[in-house]
Amino acid sequence: MKNDKKRRNKMTRAAFLKDKLAILAAIFLIFIIVISIIAPLLPLEATKTDVLHILEVPSKGHWFGTDEIGRDYFARVVYGGRVSITVGILAMLMSTVLGVSIGMLAGFLGGVVDFTLMRIVDVIQSIPWLILVTVVSIFFKKGLLSIIVVIGFFSWMEIARLVRAEVMSLKEREYIQYASFLGIDTVKIILRHLMPAVMPTIIVSATSGIADAIMTESALSFLGIGIQEPLSSWGKLLQAAQSNLQNSIYMALIPGLLIVFTIFSFNKLGNLLRIYLEPSRAS
Amino acid sequence: MSTLIEIKNLSKHFAVNRKLFGAKKETVKAVDDISFKIEKGETFGLVGESGCGKSTLGRTIIRMLEPTEGQIIYDGTDITNIKGKELKNIHKRMQIIFQDPYSALDPHMTVKEIMSENISMLGKKTEEEQEEIIVSLLNKVGLTASDMYKYPNEFSGGQRQRIGIARALAVNPEFILCDEPISALDVSIQAQVVNLLSDLQNEFGLTYLFIAHDLNMVRHISDKIGVMYLGKMVEIGDSDEVYFNPKHPYTKALLESVPGIEPENILDLDRDIIDGDIPSPLDIPRGCRFHTRCPYATERCKTEQPELYDYKDNHKVACFNCL
């Protein structure tokens, strides 16, 4: 057990060090996450308006300048990142838990259960995503929590499909059949034998799930049905930057690039995690 | 000797949906109306070409698959329809060794974890007790205590098969279904595994149902041999009797397909060579199932299905021409 852990660590470390981009991604993510966590402790005021200093260019006092009502844009970006990352992680957790449970059940139990669950997936997936979320979010009270729930609840279908397919093929493996022959109960078979085998799939899809959730939140906020003032998020900032695109393009570039880098970093690290979890397949 | 397993008219059919929207269901008669007995402490060899239903028969007997018809009597109790706890208790007394040592062991578990799972089926034990049992079992199958912490992908095929055997022994079974345990191994390893199995049989008084393609190997290990063709038993009898005095044309053909190294064998041109492939089990020929490939088929064979007739004591054949 110990040896194995050591070996995995070694392999993962090697893969990590070889990949300069992965190091960058890790540093970047740690930086973003730390900043997001300690944001309230920093001397930043994201909501303080100052009409005498609107749309100022970046300077010593305001690193990223100020927005159209004179708020410090750096503070807006930091607090926006906090919201974006929170939404990304929580929505991903929700969709992963939902997707994995439903996929497992459908794949393992098969028959009527499988048919019913998969038809539900078909129905939800057949409605254009953005329209669905837009309509649903109208009925929800606007706020951080409802954004998370809406995104989480409408993005579990893909992972459910992936897990189902994987479980269906695993179910035919002799070690799974042997476990049910022994009379080990279904829950234990799922947790002990199926989970580790589908873990790499879950990890990869969960990391891209964070990225997707951040992107979706940005899209919703950009369309004005996501995060509401005075809260900000990177998507929200992008939307606000639209009207000032001509004279201060950096207001759009900053949150835009941050979204791109964050998504890239999560995907990159997800890949490394997969190497850790599936050493035999990666080598 | 007393009987450990008796099966009576056992059938296993699978329903197949061949058409996309059709309600037309067809059945594959993988095992069709088979009866035989396995005595305590003996090895029953089951042979036949791929797709003849050997594995299905084996797995139906141990209730890994649900029988469609017939009866399975295990040590005096009818286990055909038992469920839940009763089945679990019976399953503690039987085990299975799989053909493919690569898919039989969970690649995410160490040998210790794999074996603890079985051992814990017999009741709670402390970590030390479990380890002790595992070490002694690993030693029995020719592995060492340190192998306990390894993952299956660190072993060769033969070693994995040994782990499979150790795992099967962990519950102190009476009966082991060996589902082609040697077909996936190379020849030198095959002999080792077969010898290991017969040593363990002597030591623990095990009863085996040994499924294989290779008649030589089956004769070596078995007391009795059953030959299957398309879901039916065509010949059954004492091992040497079937091997040296085969009666059914299919058994003869199987035996002659074993390549020999003796010159008279190689030059023997007067063999019963059978042509063609095994017919689809979805579309079983009328009459004797073998008549489409049998060099001796008569009109009767095409219309009437032969039952297993007693040819001698302990030797039954399902062929009209052998009586």
- pLDDT tens figures, A135-160: 887 787 777 888 888 889 888 999 99
Choose among A174, A192, A197: nearest Cβ to B104.
Answer: A174
CA–CA min distance A92, chain B (Å): 25
Residue A44: its pLDDT value, please?
74
Q: Which residue of A has its CA nearest to B66?
A: A181
Model confidence at A112: pLDDT above 70: yes
B253 touches B273 (CB < 8 A):
yes
Q: Which residue of A has its CA nearest to B121?
A: A182
Residues of B in contact with A3 (CB under 8 A): 149
B44 and B139 both lie in a single domain: no
- Split at pLDDT 50, 70, 90, the class of A270 is confident
Q: Does B104 fall in a domain?
A: no
Reduced to 3 states (helix: H, G, I; strand: E, B; else coil), residue A108 is helix
Average pLDDT over residues A44-63: 72
The stretches in chain B having pLDDT less than 70 are 1, 17-24, 259-273, 323
Residues of B in contact with A1 (CB under 8 A): 110, 149
B313 and B206 both lie in a single domain: yes
Domain enclosing residue A178, as ranges? 2-282
Choose among A173, A181, A192: nearest Cβ to B103.
Answer: A173
In a mutagenesis test of the B interface, which of A171, A181, A191, A281 is the best target, namely the one with the most B β-carbons within 10 Å? A181
- Distance, in Å, from the CA atom of A17 to the CA atom of B125, rounded to the nearest integer, reads 44
B195 and B147 both lie in a single domain: no
**pTM of the shown model:** 0.80
Q: Which residue of A has its CA nearest to B94?
A: A182
Structurally, chain A folds into a number of domains equal to 1
CB within 8 Å: B91 and A193:
no
Residue B24: its pLDDT value, please?
64
Q: Phi then psi for A19, rounded to 5 degrees? A: -100, 95
B158 and B258 both lie in a single domain: no
CB within 8 Å: B106 and A177:
no
B229 and B285 both lie in a single domain: yes
Q: Does B159 fall in a domain?
A: yes
For the complex shown, is ipTM > 0.90?
no
Q: Does B101 fall in a domain?
A: no
Q: Which residue of B has its CA nearest to A184?
A: B121
B184 and B163 both lie in a single domain: no
Domain enclosing residue B152, as ranges? 109-172
CB within 8 Å: A196 and B108:
yes
Q: Phi then psi for A183, rounded to 5 degrees? A: 90, 20
DSSP class of B209: E
CB within 8 Å: B117 and A197:
no
B24 and B88 both lie in a single domain: yes
B121 and B233 both lie in a single domain: no
Q: Which residue of B has its CA nearest to A189?
A: B117
B216 and B195 both lie in a single domain: yes
- The CATH number given to whatever domain includes residue B196 is 3.40.50.300
- Distance, in Å, from the CA atom of A17 to the CA atom of B25, rounded to the nearest integer, reads 58
Token couple for A168: 């269906």
Q: Which residue of A has its CA nearest to B112?
A: A1
- The CATH number given to whatever domain includes residue A203 is 1.10.3720.10
Residue A282: its pLDDT value, please?
42
Model confidence at A1: pLDDT above 50: no
DSSP class of B235: E
CB within 8 Å: A179 and B149:
no
Place of tokens 């329809």: B81
Residues of A in contact with B87 (CB under 8 A): 183
B166 and B240 both lie in a single domain: no
Residues of A in contact with B134 (CB under 8 A): none
DSSP string, A156-176: -HHHHHHHHHHHHHHHTSHHH
In a mutagenesis test of the A interface, which of B64, B97, B98, B103 is the best target, namely the one with the most A β-carbons within 10 Å? B103
CA–CA min distance B162, chain A (Å): 15
Q: Which residue of B has its CA nearest to A197?
A: B108
> What pLDDT digit, counting tens, does each position of A191-236 carry?
989 998 898 888 888 888 888 888 888 888 888 787 777 778 888 8
Contacts of B240 (CB under 8 A, 6+ apart): B219
Model confidence at A165: pLDDT above 90: yes
Q: Does B103 fall in a domain?
A: no
- Given B120, B142, B172, the domain boundary residue is B172
> What pLDDT digit, counting tens, does each position of A226-268 carry?
777 777 888 888 888 888 777 778 888 888 899 899 988 988 8
Nearest to B34 by CA among B4, B13, B51: B13
Residue B256: its pLDDT value, please?
78
B37 and B146 both lie in a single domain: no
Structurally, chain B folds into a number of domains equal to 2
B55 and B179 both lie in a single domain: yes
Share of chain A above pLDDT 90, in %: 21
Place of tokens 């008669």: B29
Q: Helix A144-153 and helix A195-223: axis angle, to 10°?
A: 130
- Distance, in Å, from the CA atom of B239 to the CA atom of B218, rounded to the nearest integer, reads 8
Residues of A in contact with B65 (CB under 8 A): none
Query: Across all residues in chain A, what is the average pLDDT?
Result: 83
- Distance, in Å, from the CA atom of A78 to the CA atom of A37, rounded to the nearest integer, reads 10
CA–CA min distance A169, chain B (Å): 12
- Split at pLDDT 50, 70, 90, the class of A101 is very high
CB within 8 Å: A1 and B149:
yes
- Given B130, B150, B172, the domain boundary residue is B172
CA–CA min distance A272, chain B (Å): 18
